[in-house]
Amino acid sequence: MSGADNVVWLGTPAFPQAARAALADTQLRANLRRATGTIRDKRLAVAAELEDWEDLRETAAAVKRHTLRHLDHHLLRLEKTVTAAGGVVHWAADAAEANRIVTDLVRATGGSDDETREVVKVKSMATQEIGLNEALADAGIRAYETDLAELIVQLGRDRPSHILVPAIHRNRSEIREIFQREMGEWGRPAPEGLSDDPRDLAEAARLHLREKFLRAKVAVSGANFAAADTGTIVVVESEGNGRMCLTLPETLITVMGIEKVLPSFADLEVFLQLLPRSSTGERMNPYTSLWTGVTEGDGPQNFHLVLLDNGRTATLADEVGRQALACIRCSACLNVCPVYERTGGHAYGSVYPGPIGAVLTPQLVGIENAASLPFASTLCGACYDACPVKINIPEVLVHLRAEAVEAGRRTRLLPTVEALAMKAAGAAMSSPGRLAAAQKIAALGARLVARNGRIGALPGPLGRWSDSRDTPLPPRETLRAWWRRTRTPANEDSPATGERKGRR
């Protein structure tokens, strides 16, 4: 399966180039610093309220590990229970197949042309991942985003930059301008004299969306979780717009990544405590919608569940990388990441930004299509500490960096400068004599390019190292030379063994 088949965006400049442009945007950095700092502080406060917080994390991690080891079993159980409850299950191997399934389902709903040419959507990363809105548009079907942040992104002809808060890169003045300029093109225009007060902006969005909720015959949703034993699908959100999508239309189509399944309904007890605290810093989610199949006279009368692979099975085969599939899309790792806070989500070129995107996207689309993303990290470990399901993101990053280097090596006829340098370092460190000689040469060379007690600009390819680092000069005397000069001959500790001479 190629990266093009998988979609997940990309096609943008590699992370180093995109990040450089983002770093120059002072307004973006201010927006990100303020928003991530607020969410981060709230999360820490509410997590500290639970004495068993770490036990919840351990339990969630264990449930996810078990589920991934037996994923085929739980998916078949889910198909059986959803079907028994009156739903229809579809299997999609990739983005193209998923888009075709959804498009055909919308076309088959009947009714007037206007009714079948539009759908309302509740926030779904899976549909963003496969490019569903664009696929529907190509088929003459218009998709309306109803989550407020997603609406802002759609009206602004933009892309989400955060898992939880897709419009985190926009401030309220920018949002007001977008509403005033674009709402009329999509439906009800913004009120005259709209201010940038959050209450006024929310009211403008409510009025704009209400007519779409009441008119739409088809809704498309994602899923946060699915219980295999009951066939219950779960969507959590903060505004209530999702509840409108999930109850008013006649047909509901849910696109869900296969990794979202849980073995049992009882498992939700753990995850519905972890998710709101980790994502929005709330003790419980404002709107948690659960549905099982269809019920006559209540809610949608046609329910379709599209189970999406799109690179997940290939990811599952990687014993180290597969832990990324445990992600519950809380965005806690983004909010603590120093790299994300300074570059924003667009620099990652993926629907999944931040630390989790740096490990998930390369596995979904192939490391050769996203080779720079595993390097978009300081490896500080803050993401691992924050993750509610204990995904060891730094471990996966290092693992994928090795894969990226190996993939690049296979495509080159000649080794890179870095590879030659590492080979030379290995040769020097394997011999005490060569290491001592290399240390002397390095100390002398460093002083030739010294600037104010620091190593200045190095020549050639080495300039990429010195341009981005403030490196102190190496000491004039190495440890080995200091040891020879200062050691005493009688009963001294051996540097190699820590034993004193004469001991037996």
Q: What are 167-184's pLDDT values in tens digits?
A: 888 999 999 999 999 999
- For residue 223, give the nearest of 123, 325, 85, 95 by alpha carbon: 123
Question: What's the CA gap between 291 and 388, in Å, rounded?
Answer: 25
Q: What is the pLDDT of residues 215-239, one digit of tens each?
A: 899 999 999 999 999 999 999 998 8
In the chain, what is the straight-line distance between the N-terminal and C-terminal CA atoms, in Å? 64
Contact 133, 359 (CB under 8 A): no
**Confidence band for 2, pLDDT divided at 50, 70 and 90:** very low
Tell me the C-alpha to C-alpha distance, in Å, between residue 260 and each of 201, 287, 323, 434.
33, 19, 13, 54
296 Cβ neighbours under 8 A, 6+ residues apart? none
Question: pLDDT-derived band of residue 449, with 50, 70 and 90 as boundaries?
Answer: confident
HSE-up of residue 403 (Cα within 13 Å, Cβ side):
21
Closest CA to 422 of 465, 392, 457, 456: 465
At 50 the pLDDT is 95
Which residue carries 């985190």 as its tokens? 168
CB 179 within 8 A of CB 155: yes
State residue 411's pLDDT score: 79
DSSP string, 135-195: HHHHTT-EEEE-SHHHHHHHHTT----SSS-TTTT--HHHHHHHHHHHHHHHSSPPPTT--
Q: State the angle between helix axes of 198-215 and 148-155 in degrees (0 to 180), rounded to the nearest 10.
A: 90
Write the pLDDT tens digit of every residue in 475-499: 878 888 888 888 866 545 555 444 4
Query: What is the average pLDDT across 152-168?
Result: 90
Report the alpha-carbon angle 356-361-367, nearest 5.
125
Distances from the Cα of 162 to the Cαs of 30, 333, 335, in angstroms? 15, 11, 9
- Identify whether the C-beta of residue 381 lies closer than 8 Å to the C-beta of residue 394: yes
The arithmetic mean of pLDDT across residues 114-118, rounded, is: 68
For residues 188 and 433, give the distance between their C-alpha atoms in angstroms, rounded to a whole number: 78
What percent of the chain stands above pLDDT 90? 67
Chain segment 373-392, per-residue pLDDT in tens: 999 999 999 999 999 999 99
331, pLDDT greater than 60: yes
- Given pLDDT bands bounded at 50, 70 and 90, which one contains residue 12? confident
User: What average pLDDT does this structure show over 279-307?
Assistant: 94
Q: Which of 7, 6, 64, 130 is nearest to 325 (CA)?
A: 64
Cβ-contact 189, 221 below 8 angstroms? no
* Helix (H) and strand (E) counts in the chain: 24, 12
Residue-level pLDDT at 115 = 52
Q: Are 310 and 260 within 8 A, CB to CB? A: no
Selection from 104, 163, 113 nearest residue 132 by Cα: 104
Report the alpha-carbon distance of residue 265 to residue 367 in Å, rounded. Answer: 35
